[in-house]
Every structure is written in structure tokens, then in C-alpha cells.
Amino acid sequence: MSDILTCQKCETKNRVTNPPAGQVPVCARCGAPLPWLHDGTDASFAEDTRAGVPVIVDFWAPWCGPCRVMGPILEQIAQDMPGKVRIVKVNVDENPRSPAQFGVQGIPTLVMFKDGEAVDQIVGAVQKPLLVERIRHLQNLA
């Protein structure tokens, strides 16, 4: 599944599929790394969570109030850290298998992946600075 990602530098809209292993999506016009937001699914979950940068999976649902708080925070983080993190939003109503696989009991739950493996989890809504700190920690892991 492809995403439309807007370049922060030149505002070009880029149609992006999952890039080759270890690469991040860049703007076709100016080469800048793109804020990497993706709607994940059960079918593509393994591929969605494999990236050369930390991946934050947001298990959410449209009816969940705290999820609606987390959504914009995650979008801001994608904008703040282009080429440094991938945000994958998984609607648990439409995709029940992936949250079951990771023992998700309630939403929002954020599961963080490094090199395709789940390494950290945050249950419930959190403030942006805490989330940024946890992502930086993942980036610093060798």
C-alpha cells in the first residue's frame, strides 16, 4: 500500500511505497527525507514494522478519546523527525490480529520496533516530550 507524503522543503506530494531495507523515503524532487506516516494493516504488519529507523505503532480506534489526543502528537513527531522515525497507525477495529499478537489490552497502546522487533511499549496517552525521549533512546541503541 502506498502513502502520499508531503515534503517539508518543497511541498511536493510524493507517492511512497515501503522503501528497500535500511532506506527511508526521500522527496523525488529535492531529496529531503519525508515525514514518514503510514496506515498499517494486519496483512502488511511485518513489512510495516521493518525499517532502518525506529518504528512507532499506534494501536488506535476512531471511538477512543485518548487516541484522538495521541494522533496529532504522533503526526507532529513524524514532522519533527523526518528520516528518523516511522509512525504506523493501526486501527484495531479493522485489524484485530496485530494487537492480539502483541498482547494489547487497551488503547491507545504504542509499540516501538527496532530492526523489526518490538522493544518498548507505552500503554495509554502520553505527553509528547516523554514520547520523544523514548524514541531518542531507541535511536541511540546500536
**Of the candidates 34, 86, 39, the residue with the CA atom closest to the CA atom of residue 59:** 39
Q: How many residues bind Zn ion (CB under 5 A)?
A: 8
Question: Active site includes 64?
Answer: yes
- Which residue is associated with the grid cell 527496532? 114
Q: How far is the CB of 78 from Zn ion (least distance, A)?
A: 16
Per-residue binding string, Zn ion, 5-44, x by CB under 5 A, is: --x-xx-x--------------x-xx-x------------
Residue number, 9 or 137, with CB nearest to Zn ion: 9
Question: Active site includes 7?
Answer: no
**Of the candidates 108, 12, 95, the residue with the CA atom closest to the CA atom of residue 48:** 95
User: Which of the residues 42 through 101 are near Zn ion (CB under 5 A)?
Assistant: none
Q: How far is the CB of 37 from Zn ion (least distance, A)?
A: 16
The three cell numbers locating residue 25? 523515503
137 binds Zn ion (CB under 5 A): no
For residue 72, with 0-12 CB atoms within 10 Å meaning exposed, 13-18 middle and 19 or more buried, which class applies?
A: exposed
Q: How far is the CB of 12 from Zn ion (least distance, A)?
A: 5
**Which stretches of 5-127 are DSSP H helices?**
45-48, 65-80, 97-101
Please tell me the distance from the alpha carbon of residue 82 to that of residue 30, in angstroms, as a whole number: 14
Q: How far is the CB of 24 from Zn ion (least distance, A)?
A: 14
Binding site for Zn ion (CB under 5 A): 7, 9-10, 12, 27, 29-30, 32
Catalogue the active-site residues.
64, 67
